[in-house]
């Protein structure tokens, strides 16, 4: 590839990731989870290299899932979301596939140098994504069931969390603290996946691919509020089980919770892109704070 072509691809990929694969958001959401997972599994002696490698593996896996979605949903998106980067020919599916190949290689290399169990789990994860790319050989049958379709794809994220645990400690055994933390991260993942598919009335399409299409805007926000509250409860359960003393740090989750409630109310009343971004930011900050407190305390 020529130098000019490479620079062109980088520029176009930057435009693509802003809308379809926000790397900064994913790093901010994933990095604290890695820290809290280490605190749950291994306790001390966390190296920067381990964090970097696990973060790189996680982002690579996320990107692999995104590229699969782009290929699998190409016809649907061309019909109902023709303003997206691939549909606008800013970047092609072939180019994304090439970048995805690099991501898969990085993911596997990191797994190889971690442990046999991490490599085995990585292969299981890639096999699952393969079946997911083929819609589990059910075609349109599974697409007709929106909630089931999203649930089977959510499994990919849950497998990644197990991979994170295995990265830090090969022979970890399941106890109540790990189970609660796994539920905490799972609900956190569901939160962002659910929020991603809440669209304001003016942005709702006829593709029947959002939660607001099935529940309506107000009810979707209520369900999202319930998920966040459940995440708060699980965080409190972790603090009790691990005997974490929040002390003066109690103000941080309280302040961010108030910020979240305010942004939720504003989005409920205003229903625009600014309040949507505000709700995403407040949710991210709250989730980050929970994970960082688990690690540092």
Q: What stretches of 2-73 show up as alpha helix (H) in DSSP?
A: 3-20, 23-41, 48-72
- Closest listed residue to residue 172, CA positions, set 183, 184, 163: 163
| Tens-digit pLDDT profile for residues 62-99 | 999 999 999 988 998 999 999 999 999 999 999 999 99
Sign of the dihedral defined by the CA atoms of residues 159, 162, 167, 172, in that order: negative
Residue 167 banded pLDDT, cuts 50, 70, 90: confident
| Tens-digit pLDDT profile for residues 281-294 | 999 999 999 999 99
**Range 64-92 burial, b when 16+ CB lie within 10 A, else e:** bbbbbbbebbeeebeeeeeebbbeeeebe
Q: What is the mean pLDDT of residues 182-186?
A: 96
CA distance 239 to 246: 8
CA distance 186 to 161: 8
Give yes or no for a contact between 91 and 10, defined as CB atoms under 8 angstroms apart. Answer: no
- How many beta carbons lie within 10 A of that of residue 174, not counting itself? 9
- Closest listed residue to residue 102, CA positions, set 219, 13, 207: 13
Q: Is the pLDDT of residue 265 over 70?
A: yes
CA distance 48 to 146: 40
pTM: 0.93
């Amino acid at each position: 590839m020529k130098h000019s072509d490479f620079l062109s691809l980088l520029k176009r990929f930057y435009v693509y990731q802003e809308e379809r694969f926000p790397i900064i958001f994913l790093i901010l959401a994933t990095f604290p989870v890695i820290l809290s997972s280490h605190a749950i599994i291994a306790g001390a002696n966390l190296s920067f290299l381990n964090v970097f490698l696990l973060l790189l593996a996680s982002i690579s896996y996320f990107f692999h899932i995104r590229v699969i979605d782009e290929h699998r949903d190409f016809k649907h998106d061309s019909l109902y979301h023709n303003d997206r980067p691939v549909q606008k020919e800013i970047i092609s599916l072939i180019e994304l596939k090439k970048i995805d190949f690099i991501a898969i290689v990085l993911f596997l290399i990191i797994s190889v140098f971690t442990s046999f169990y991490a490599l085995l789990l990585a292969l299981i994860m890639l096999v699952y994504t393969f079946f997911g790319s083929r819609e589990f050989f059910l075609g349109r049958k599974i697409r007709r069931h929106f909630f089931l379709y999203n649930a089977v794809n959510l499994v990919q994220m849950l497998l990644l969390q197990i991979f994170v645990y295995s990265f830090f400690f090969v022979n970890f055994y399941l106890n109540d603290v790990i189970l609660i933390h796994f539920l905490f991260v799972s609900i956190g993942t569901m939160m962002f996946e659910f929020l991603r598919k809440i669209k304001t009335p003016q942005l709702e399409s006829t593709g029947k691919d959002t939660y607001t299409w099935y529940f309506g805007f107000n009810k979707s926000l209520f369900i999202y509020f319930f998920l966040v509250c459940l995440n708060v409860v699980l965080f409190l359960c972790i603090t009790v089980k691990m005997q974490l003393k929040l002390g003066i740090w109690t103000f941080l989750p309280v302040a961010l919770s108030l910020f979240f409630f305010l942004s939720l109310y504003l989005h409920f009343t205003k229903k625009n892109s600014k309040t949507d971004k505000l709700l995403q930011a407040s949710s991210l900050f709250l989730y980050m704070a929970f994970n960082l407190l688990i690690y540092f305390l």
